Amino acid sequence: MSRPKRMTRAVIVGHKSILKETIDALHDVNLFHIEDFVEDESGFKISKPFKNAEEVSKKLVKIRSIANYLGIESKKPVVQKTDSVLRELDTKLNELDRAISAKTEAISQLEIELKDMEAQKREIMPYLSINLDFEYYRGYESLRVFAGTVKSSLEESQISSITRAYELYYDPQSKAVVLFVAKNDADKVYEVLQGLGFKELRVPERGGVPSELLRFIEQKEAEVTRKIESLKGEIESLKAKYADFILASDEVLSIESQKAELPLRIATSENAFIIDGWTPSEDYDKVVSVVNSATNGKAYITSLEIRHEDEDSVPVEYNNSKIVAPMQEVMDLYSRPKYTEIDPSSAILITMPLIYGLILGDIGYAMILGGLALTIKKLVKSDSVQSLMNILIYCEISAIFFGILYGEFLGFPLASSHTEHGVVPGLIPGWETINLFGGIGGEVFTFPIHRSHMIMTMIGLSMIVGLFHLNLGYLLGFSNVARNHGMKHAILEKGSWMIIQLGVILAAAGYLGIGGSALMYVGAIVLVLGIVMLAIGEGIAGVVELPSLMGNVLSYARIIAVGLSSIYIAGTVNDIAFGMIWADHSQIGFAAIAAICVFMLGHGLNSVLSIIAPGLHALRLQYVEFFGKFYQGGGRKFNPFGYIRKYTEE
């Protein structure tokens, strides 16, 4: 069980003439967490950023907007020299900026054209079925032209009963109407049309036959689309050409900008500066020597005593081995430990995969998911994905172990079992289930453990696992309280819970007649003693919390509950798939193929569920039940001033 890294508070003081050297040295060593200076009455002020800050951030904004536009993603780094990147930066950046803005401008111009043509097409569409040259629609003195659509269908007789001086074009399908009628009768005809729900449409300004116009526009449209595609292709090739440059210069500029803006975070007077911050105690000497050599010993560095009331604000850096490190992700998801607390990463390294394995316990799913995790780990290089996959691999190893204990493979039992219906063979011939001893409620405890045949026994076992887990939590809490507030508090606050459990167990044993009935009274006395201690230690709030202990222990019943749900899903998939094959006696028929599909899909689904359900429940048992016993969290992240270079080197 580790505690966070010991920290030393260090203060660096010097003349402003060596500020730049000091900042460069601190940035390179990447071990110093700088406390932001808040202006107060001391007379010190924050300083101005270095002269190049504005220019650097301008370029940085430009390069990031280009990277964003091109969709540049981090990839396998090609390491470049910092000074060569800086030398080429201006010319390359301008070149890139010009090329991209010319191309995007052209694209947006073409897209406007495209939209315009779309509008023209929409205008022509209704006239397509009538296909009359648009020139004929206008320029009459004694004729009125109605062009539009009607809602209900139009009979020619409706017009001819009013006037004989008309010419009607009507498409019954699209209900488009073009009607030429003498001006004298126009009003009457208009009334009839209105009765049919007539809606007038605009006649396009240009002349020409609609079908030909449409063909012409479509041709042009295709041409413009082709142009846009080729421009996009050119941008894509720009991306390939400049990706390395963009990534490297983003990094170089980020570093420059961090350094240039540091004066905004430190205290300065007319001629001097003070940098206040934290460094891991083990690295203090290194920081001192680096700063001294960079400034020829002109900077003054000293370490300060950490006051007790400041302990909560100390930045926290984990102090774990490489094996435990992935669990830090799980910790950060909840909350980073405080500086004064035990870091439970190494405890959950054991308990979380253990509970996951107890829940899943299936060799088949463990191998599928383990393989998946290994593949993703190979393919995706991001740090957080790597840690998550490592956690998943730990969990699957535990699941394989319990899979052997349970004798399960994709829901099939591996060993044969004796039931009321005779011997049911398992997947591995010759592996027979051995009866070991009686369990709870008339069940028999066997090896391998057939979970679905001994539910009550497994619930009991799950709760025993829970008791151990909870008491580990109380022990860690005991250690935390003992360290920070003394042994007396630890015994009253955390020890009392363990004494209460002891009392309950003794009383229960006495009640069941194990070790004599006198034990029951002893247990009761121990229980009362524990409750009194708790009341002294945590006050009335602690006593009110008592029933939650039972809730916490019962909560571990989910270990078997979630496990069973996974078994039943797998078993159902197997039953359906094999039922289909047996129904059809031909060797490879439709049913067999369908059965394979059902088998693959069903187990695929259950594999995904096998990450989510056991994973979340294992996590919850850590966060709620386990952490609730001792953990506070809320520590600040140790965030050293510096940069982890990927694409450049000095």
Rule CB under 8 A: which residues touch other proteins?
Answer: 332-335, 441, 455-456, 459, 551, 554-555, 557-558, 561, 616, 619-620, 623-624
Residue with tokens 């950490």: 306
Q: Which is nearer to other proteins, 63 or 458 (CB)?
A: 458
Q: What are phi and psi of 519, to 5 degrees?
A: -60, -30
For 598, how many CA atoms within 13 A lie in the half-sphere containing its CB?
A: 19
Could you tell me the smallest distance in angstroms from the CB atom of residue 519 to other proteins?
25
Could you tell me the smallest distance in angstroms from the CB atom of residue 334 to other proteins?
4
Q: Which is nearer to other proteins, 626 or 647 (CB)?
A: 626
Residue with tokens 């570093």: 255
Q: Which is nearer to other proteins, 554 or 601 (CB)?
A: 554
Q: Which is nearer to other proteins, 558 or 603 (CB)?
A: 558
Q: Which is nearer to other proteins, 303 or 335 (CB)?
A: 335
Give the integer Cα–Cα distance in Å for 262 and 275.
10
Give the integer Cα–Cα distance in Å for 417 and 425.
7
Cα–Cα nearest to 353, from 390, 385, 387, 399: 399
Cβ atoms within 10 A of the Cβ of 238, count? 17
Q: Which is nearer to other proteins, 27 or 558 (CB)?
A: 558
Could you tell me the smallest distance in angstroms from the CB atom of residue 619 to other proteins?
7
Coil, helix or strand at residue 178: strand
Could you tell me the smallest distance in angstroms from the CB atom of residue 498 to other proteins?
22
Could you tell me the smallest distance in angstroms from the CB atom of residue 283 to other proteins?
27
The answer to whether 278 touches 636, Cβ cutoff 8 Å, is no
Could you tell me the smallest distance in angstroms from the CB atom of residue 521 to other proteins?
28
408-409 and 412-413: which strand pairing? antiparallel
Q: Which is nearer to other proteins, 121 or 453 (CB)?
A: 453
Q: What is the DSSP letter of 493?
A: I
Torsion-angle region of 602 (φ positive above 0: left; ψ -120 to 50: alpha; else: beta): alpha
Could you tell me the smallest distance in angstroms from the CB atom of residue 145 to other proteins?
58
Q: What is the CA radius of gyration of the chain?
A: 39
**What is the CA angle 189-132-178, rounded to 5?**
15
Could you tell me the smallest distance in angstroms from the CB atom of residue 316 to other proteins?
15
Provide the greatest CA pair distance for the chain.
121
Q: Which is nearer to other proteins, 512 or 588 (CB)?
A: 512
Give the integer Cα–Cα distance in Å for 535 and 542.
6
CA distance between the termini of the chain? 39
Q: Which is nearer to other proteins, 91 or 382 (CB)?
A: 382
Give the integer Cα–Cα distance in Å for 159 and 155.
8
Q: How far is CA 76 from CA 70, 385, 515, in A?
A: 17, 16, 68
Cβ contacts of 373 within 8 Å, gap of 6 or more = 389, 392, 393, 396
Q: Which is nearer to other proteins, 335 or 346 (CB)?
A: 335
Q: Which is nearer to other proteins, 22 or 552 (CB)?
A: 552
Could you tell me the smallest distance in angstroms from the CB atom of residue 552 to other proteins?
8
Burial class (CB in 10 A: 0-12, 13-18, 19+), 498: middle
Could you tell me the smallest distance in angstroms from the CB atom of residue 281 to other proteins?
28
Could you tell me the smallest distance in angstroms from the CB atom of residue 333 to other proteins?
4
Q: Which is nearer to other proteins, 402 or 626 (CB)?
A: 626
Could you tell me the smallest distance in angstroms from the CB atom of residue 622 to other proteins?
10
Q: Which is nearer to other proteins, 536 or 554 (CB)?
A: 554
Could you tell me the smallest distance in angstroms from the CB atom of residue 561 to other proteins?
5
Q: Which is nearer to other proteins, 163 or 335 (CB)?
A: 335
Give the integer Cα–Cα distance in Å for 363 and 368.
9
| SS3 assignment for 365-388 | HHHHHHHHHHHHHHHCCCHHHHHH
Could you tell me the smallest distance in angstroms from the CB atom of residue 616 to other proteins?
7
Cα–Cα nearest to 287, from 272, 298, 307, 303: 303
Cβ contacts of 481 within 8 Å, gap of 6 or more = 489, 490, 493, 494
Give the integer Cα–Cα distance in Å for 603 and 610.
10
Q: Which is nearer to other proteins, 360 or 619 (CB)?
A: 619
Give the integer Cα–Cα distance in Å for 223 and 229.
10
Burial class (CB in 10 A: 0-12, 13-18, 19+), 309: exposed
Give the CA dihedral 456, 459, 465, 471, nearest 10 degrees. Answer: -110
Could you tell me the smallest distance in angstroms from the CB atom of residue 557 to other proteins?
5
Sheet holding 199-200: strands in order across?
Answer: 166-171, 176-182, 143-149, 199-200
Q: Which is nearer to other proteins, 306 or 561 (CB)?
A: 561
Could you tell me the smallest distance in angstroms from the CB atom of residue 483 to other proteins?
25
